Structures are given as C-alpha cells and as structure tokens.
Structure 1
Amino acid sequence: MPPVKHYSSSEVNQYELSSRLLSLTENNTSYTLTQINGQRIYRKAPHAWSGPEPSRNCEVFIGRIPHDCFEDTLVPLFRQAGELFEFRLMINFSGWNRGYAFAMYTNDVEASNAIRMFNNYMIRPSWQLGVCPSINNCRIFISRIPPTTPSAEIVRLLYALTDEVQEVRIRRSTASCAAIVEYKSHRGAAMARKALVAAAAAAWGCGARPAVDWSLPQSPQLLKQYREVGRWSAERGVELSRAPEEAGAWSPPPAAPSYTLEPWSQARRLRMIHEAQRSAAHAPHVGYNRISNMESLVASMSGLSGLGGEGGVWAPPTGLGAGGPRAPPSPDFNPWTSRHPLQEFKEFIAHAKDQ
C-alpha cells in the first residue's frame, strides 16, 4: 500500500495541497476534480464513461478520516479495492475535511471489497477508518414545531421553503409536534436541511425554535408513528390524509381477569389468619366452642370478601352486593379447577378438628 501522508494543522500549506490535488487529474485525465456545496468531487470524466451511473449499492461511506487527510492520500488508497467512479470528500469553510467521504465504485463487488479491506484500516497510528455501505438518506426530521400550528400550514411552509419535497409526515401529541420530510434525492434533502436550519425559526415565528436534523433512514417502525401524511401541488393545494393502520400491528394482550380480594380486605384476611394460627399454637387442646368460633370467623370473612362456595369450590363475585356493582364472571372461569382464596384457612380448621 502507498505510504500515508499526514500533516499537522500548522504544517499544511494550501498552495502545496492545491498542487498535490492537481497532480491527481494531470496523471489521469479520465477524472475531473470540482468543488461545490461543501464537497470536493473526484469523478470519471464524461468522455471516459459510457452508460448509466452506478447504483447506490456501489457506494461506500468512509468515516473517521483525519481532518488533514485529503484526496492525494485517500484516492490511491481506495483505488486498490477497484475502479472508482466517484470520490466525494466533505470540506468545511476553512478547507479542512469534515471527517467523512463517499466512494462510488463501478460495481457492487468492488464496493464490498472496499468494505472488507478498509473497515478498521489503520490509516495512522491508533487511527482507524470506518467503512460501511452508504445509505441514501432522503429524510429530514423536524422537532419542536409549535403544537398549535395547523398541519396544512406545516405542509405549505415546507413546500415553500425547500425543493424536491415528496411528502410530509406529521406526528402530534398534546404538547408537541414533529415532522419527517421525504425528498426525491439525497442532494435535495441535504440542500433542504441547510435551508431549514436558517429559515425554520423565522417561518414559524412566535419564538419557535424548531430543531432540524437528518432522520433515521433505517427505522421503518419510527416512520409508522407519523400517521398524518401531507402533500402539496399547484393544482390541488394541500392534501392531508391519514396513514392506514396495519393489519398485523402489535397491540398489548388483554389483561387477564383477576378475582383477588381488594387490598384492604386481603390484608385483613391475612391478619386474621395469622391471629388464628398463633392462638392454635398456644392452645393445641382447643375445644369444640373454639372450633365453632373459628368456623364462624371463616363464614364472616367469606361475607366480607364477597366470595362464597362450599368445600374447595368457589365462584367469582357476581351481581350486586354491599360493596356496589361487581364484575360479571369471566367465561373462562372454571370453578372446579380454581382454588378458593380461603381454602388454606379451611384446611387448617379441619386439621384442628381432627386433633
């Protein structure tokens, strides 16, 4: 592999950089080098390429690039994976790169080679590149929109402020409003993001401070939350519609029927059971009158809880009682397999009788 050149910010000379970049096109006239809209594009010349432009599957994203590393180092490096159709390095206003670039190859096999060869490649000591497939993100996310703004007004403003809008999706709640705007191309979305950062606050007014950023391109579940869809055309104006619910959408399972006692009644039942157990432990020779009192206690507790039944069989509360209306029995309730809440205490009494 060719030696990697790197320079500290104090050593980089812009005139020297220009001469190094010029040598790229002089040594290979099949490519052109142009700078536009914050990116420098090294691309196949029209006379050197015939046919359609390679698909998006042929492009890779290159991240974690040192800010003083430029095309004279990166292009020869990534040429080793295959023939480059285009190499785009993002540049800031000072002339340094912004830490990432895009390399498009003539076919997807060469793009896969680039990922295999240069992902985690040590371009400098302790400095690894990150290379992965490029994602054609055409969506912008706008949050903190004033919730009182009508949906039609949001759609109208976005179409007026930006070009290549394909659709606007809106999500509302009681105190917030957000939108995802989809554009026809990644370039259209990038230009729109730059325009909206400067114009959105002034457009909505009323002290609004909307936040504008890229949306997550690989999140279809997130997009489903934005159910209000808006479009605009000169002939029809603003058209709003509601995204249909999906048939297979997940919904929480229904709550299982519960026949437990109310908290206050359940606590009282447990306290009375513990008192009876302590009394039985202190007086194992309990007489018949004591047993009769304990049976009366069971009956009174059954009345308090609204639960009846004999033996080990019980039924859920039905009809009207002293505590007001009660829930009707569930069709899934089976009295022959459901254990009575007081059965444990009844078994204790039966055991005391046997003694």
Structure 2
Amino acid sequence: MPPVKHYSSSEVNQYELSSRLLSLTENNTSYTLTQINGQRIYRKAPHAWSGPEPSRNCEVFIGRIPHDCFEDTLVPLFRQAGELFEFRLMINFSGWNRGYAFAMYTTDAEASNAIRMFNNYMIRPSWQLGVCPSINNCRIFISRIPPTTPSAEIVRLLYALTDEVQEVRIRRSIASCAAIVEYKSHRGAAMARKALVAAAAAAWGCGARPAVDWSLPQSPQLLKQYREVGRWTPERGVELTRAPEEAAACSPPPAAPSYTLEPWSQARRLRMIHEAQRNAAAADWSSRIANGMESLMSSMSSLSLGLGAAGLEAGERAVWAPPAARAPPPAPDFNPWTARHPLQEFIAHAKTDQ
C-alpha cells in the first residue's frame, strides 16, 4: 500500500508536487502526464498501446477524494485492481483536486474489480472513497427558472446559448420551473454547462438566479415528471409537445444502480429515520403520561376521603372536606349514694392533723 501524502498548507507546493508526479513517468515510460482543460491526464503512451481505446464500460468514476490527494497516491492504489489505460484527475485553479477522478482500465473485468475493491475504501481515517461505473452523462439540470417564463422562450434561449441540444424537458408548478436539457454528447453537455453558468442569469434577467448543474444519474426515473418536451429547428422554429401520462406510467421501471447512495442521500435518509424515532418516542411518552393521569384520577375517585362509604353513590366524585369537630363524650349519670364527696380529701387531711 503506497503511503498517503498530506499537503496541509493553504497553497499547493507545486515544486514538491511536480517532483512527485515526475516519478510516475520516470519509473514507467509507457505513460504520459499532461494537464489540459482543468484535468490532469495520466495515459498510456502511443507506442505502448495498439488498437482501439477501451470501451466506456472499462471506466469507473471515483468520488469523495480528499482535495490534497494526488496521482502519486491514487495511481499506485488503483493499479492494484488491473492495468490502467488512463487516469484523469480534475484540478481547480488553486492546484487542489476537485474531489473526483476517472480511471479507465484495459478490460471491463478490471473495472468491475476496481469497484469491488475500492468502493467505500478507507483512504484516510474516517474518509471513504466512492467508486461506481462511469456514466456518460449528457443531461444538464436547470432549476430556479422564473415561473412566468414561457416554455417556448426557455427552449429558444437554450438552443441559442448552447450547441448540440437534442431536446428540452420542462416541469412546472405554481411557484417553480425547472428543465432538463439533453445534448448529443458528454462534451457538448460539459461545454454547455460552462456557458450556462455564466450566461443563464443574464439571459433570463429580472433578477433571476437559475442554478445549473449536472443531472443526477437517476434522472431517467424522473423524466416522467417533465411533461413538456421542446425542440427547435431553423425550418419550424420551436415545437412543444406534451408527454402522455399513460406512456410514462406504462414505461418499465429503470434498473437499480449498482453503486451506493450519495452522501447527501444517506444523510437525508438517516435524518428521516431519527425524526421518525423521536416522534414515536414523544408520542409514547405522551400516551404514558395520559394513562398515568387517568389511573390517578380513577384511584382518587374511589377513595371516600372522610365522607363515609355510605355517602358516596355510584359514579359520584369524592370531594375533600375538613373533618368535623369531635363531640365530648356524654357525662355519666350522677348517683349521690356512690359519688365521692368533693371535700372528702380535705376532711381526711384535717382529721390526720388533729
């Protein structure tokens, strides 16, 4: 296992990083390393490969990469799954990586082996990689479109601002509007995404701030919610059609993805589970308090509390009252023949003194 290098400074040490990356090509001359369009490509040299490039099934997507982790760590790691044809790491302007990369192997069996070995792989303490099949994503998702914008205007703007548009699907509600734009190729979608991020806000105007991003891999399941389908041609202009609900309902369910959920999906699912458990515990506690109060009231109502059992009728609630004052015991009948004389003791003492 190659050692993991950490770059803790706020800026990448380009000299140290260049020396580390140079060792990759010096030790193995059958690969070249170039950087273009925000990505650094480690690829088989032309003299080391003959024949067509591997198919799309041989490429895997690598996500959740630490931003200070580079090819000197990743390439030796993913070589353990098979022979690499190409490794592309996405780089930003500051020199850090953007958190994801693509690894293309020479066979699809090696790609499957990489998914099995390195999906949820702990590259650092409490830091797991996510590896799944690479998806040739040709769709862009646009949200926060002003709901008052006509659908024909949305289609016309997207065809005017970007190239290789195949179709535009629009979903509307009372207060929101969103669109999924499908392009003819992944490159066309990537170029369109860059153009739309810069021009969408100015194109819609009125203070609009549309959000532009890649469509999720699960978007084929959600396309049935986007009823309006728009296309534009120079001959006919904008053509809008509405997808029938029956066709969407009768379409076969898409195959389940062979990779795990994204982190935000896992966090949302766990949060929903915790909320459900907390609500159930609160409801159980409330029911216990209610049952306890009911049993206490029933036990209190069964007590006489000094009123006497005879004074309580069935269903009558007992009310507390202070106890009545105790009457003095009746005086015994006076018998002058047997009663003691009040001065008997005085008379007796007087006789003894004489």
TM over 0.5: yes
Among all aligned residue pairs of Structure 1 and Structure 2, give the percentage whose two residues are the same amino acid.
94
C-alpha change, 1:281 and 1:142, in structure 2 (3 Å) is closer
Q: Whole-Å Cα distance in 1 between the matches of residues 42 and 28 of structure 2? A: 11
Q: Deviations over 1:213-251 (max 9, x none)?
A: 222222323111111111223343322222233357289
Determine if contact 1:90/1:98 at 8 Å carries over to the other structure. yes
> What is the deviation of 1:121?
2.3
Q: Whole-Å Cα distance in 2 between the matches of residues 348 and 293 of structure 1? A: 70
Q: Deviations over 1:31-89 (max 9, x none)?
A: 22222222111122333333333222211121222211111111111111111111111
1:149 aligns with 2:149: yes
Q: Whole-Å Cα distance in 2 between the matches of residues 304 and 86 of structure 1? A: 86
Counterpart of 1:47 in 2: which secondary structure?
Answer: helix
Equivalent residues, number: 336
C-alpha change, 1:352 and 1:277, in structure 2 (3 Å) is farther
Determine if contact 1:314/1:340 at 8 Å carries over to the other structure. no
Farther off after superposition, 78-87 or 34-43: 34-43
C-alpha change, 1:190 and 1:332, in structure 2 (3 Å) is farther
C-alpha change, 1:29 and 1:175, in structure 2 (3 Å) is same
Q: Deviations over 1:92-140 (max 9, x none)?
A: 1100112221111111110111112222323233333222222222211
Q: Deviations over 1:262-287 (max 9, x none)?
A: 9999999999999999999999xxxx
Q: Whole-Å Cα distance in 2 between the matches of residues 73 and 277 of structure 1? A: 42
Q: Whole-Å Cα distance in 1 between the matches of residues 251 and 23 of structure 2? A: 62
C-alpha change, 1:252 and 1:243, in structure 2 (3 Å) is closer
C-alpha change, 1:219 and 1:275, in structure 2 (3 Å) is closer
What's the C-alpha RMSD, in Å, of the aligned pairs?
Answer: 23.0
C-alpha change, 1:8 and 1:149, in structure 2 (3 Å) is same
Q: Whole-Å Cα distance in 2 between the matches of residues 119 and 203 of structure 1? A: 41
C-alpha change, 1:311 and 1:169, in structure 2 (3 Å) is farther
Determine if contact 1:138/1:185 at 8 Å carries over to the other structure. yes
Q: Whole-Å Cα distance in 1 between the matches of residues 340 and 190 of structure 2? A: 66
C-alpha change, 1:329 and 1:34, in structure 2 (3 Å) is farther
**1:337 aligns to what?**
338
Counterpart of 1:155 in 2: which secondary structure?
Answer: helix
Structure 2's unaligned 5+ residue stretches are: 284-290, 305-310
Q: Whole-Å Cα distance in 1 between the matches of residues 333 and 165 of structure 2? A: 54
C-alpha change, 1:207 and 1:301, in structure 2 (3 Å) is farther
C-alpha change, 1:106 and 1:338, in structure 2 (3 Å) is farther
Q: Whole-Å Cα distance in 2 between the matches of residues 48 and 134 of structure 1? A: 24
Counterpart of 1:331 in 2: which secondary structure?
Answer: coil
How is 1:319-338 mapped onto 2 (pairs within 5 angstroms)? none
C-alpha change, 1:117 and 1:231, in structure 2 (3 Å) is same
Determine if contact 2:24/2:72 at 8 Å carries over to the other structure. yes
How is 1:121-132 mapped onto 2 (pairs within 5 angstroms)? 121-132=121-132
Determine if contact 1:231/1:239 at 8 Å carries over to the other structure. yes
Determine if contact 2:301/2:318 at 8 Å carries over to the other structure. no
Task: State the structure with more CA Rg.
Answer: 2
Structure 1's unaligned 5+ residue stretches are: 284-291, 318-325
**1:177 aligns to what?**
177
Determine if contact 1:314/1:338 at 8 Å carries over to the other structure. no
Determine if contact 1:316/1:329 at 8 Å carries over to the other structure. no
Determine if contact 2:200/2:210 at 8 Å carries over to the other structure. yes
Q: Whole-Å Cα distance in 2 between the matches of residues 255 and 262 of structure 1? A: 17
